[in-house]
Amino acid sequence: MGFDYQYSHMTPEKKSFLHDLGLKYKCDKCWVKCFCCPLKVKCSKKTSYLYNYEKFINKNSTINILEIGVRDGASMKIWNEYLSHESNIIGIDINPKCNQCKDLNNVNVIIGDCNNKETINKILKMNLNFNCILDDGSHYYKDITDSINFYYPLLKINGIYIIEDLATMNRISNKNINDLKIFIKNNLTNYKLYEYPEMIIIEKI
């Protein structure tokens, strides 16, 4: 089963420009999944992360976005094309091979552990508050919760904090979305929580 088949077969009413950019750059954020039944082909609830992101992030908007987990840089290229070129697009990844976007003027990839003090200080020195922070990092529960503690305070009011791949978190950490929701409830105030397949979005209010 090839990339185009796995990633593009979403029902027509759920098509989106951001999802199509994901297909263009072969980004795993546009992987179309069915979460509700065994009838994968005809299910009307198949969707992708990028389709849901487009509900919160407008095309050509000027924002500051921080993404934990860069890998091949596909998402950096998506944000570079989707957002205005006055936006600040910051990525963090532990793998030195991830800095493949040096030719994009508004993209800055920091190589390091996102929860390491040195990396956090590099982000703080940028003196930016973020409209969107996206955690697509290790997916370990402790790393996710540590990142919330470190980076959520840098989120603007009405900004969103996205946590992806919660099924992976459950598999490798033996923690599930309910554990994460309890952590959020006990540690954050003034927020709205949106739940989507395998991810949550926290809106700071």
d(CA 13, CA 65): 27
> Same domain, yes or no, for 102 and 168?
yes
Last residue of a domain, one of 11, 32, 49: 49
> Same domain, yes or no, for 107 and 14?
no
Q: Is the pTM of this model over 0.85?
A: yes
Give the model's pLDDT for residue 5.
58
Q: Which residue has the tokens 């950096």?
A: 76
> Same domain, yes or no, for 99 and 145?
yes
> Same domain, yes or no, for 94 and 17?
no
> Same domain, yes or no, for 29 and 82?
no
Give the model's pLDDT for residue 35.
59
- Provide the CATH number for the domain around residue 81: 3.40.50.150
> Same domain, yes or no, for 32 and 104?
no
> Same domain, yes or no, for 30 and 60?
no
Number of domains in the chain: 2
pLDDT tens column, 125-165: 999 999 999 999 999 999 999 999 999 999 999 999 999 99
Give the model's pLDDT for residue 56.
96
- Residues of the chain where predicted confidence (pLDDT) is lower than 50: 39
Give the model's pLDDT for residue 146.
97
**E strand or H helix at 88:** strand 88-93
Q: How far is CA 181 from CA 28, 135, 139, in A?
A: 25, 15, 15
Last residue of a domain, one of 49, 65, 80: 49
> Same domain, yes or no, for 121 and 192?
yes
CB 92 within 8 A of CB 79: no
What is the domain extent for residue 42?
1-49
> Same domain, yes or no, for 187 and 100?
yes
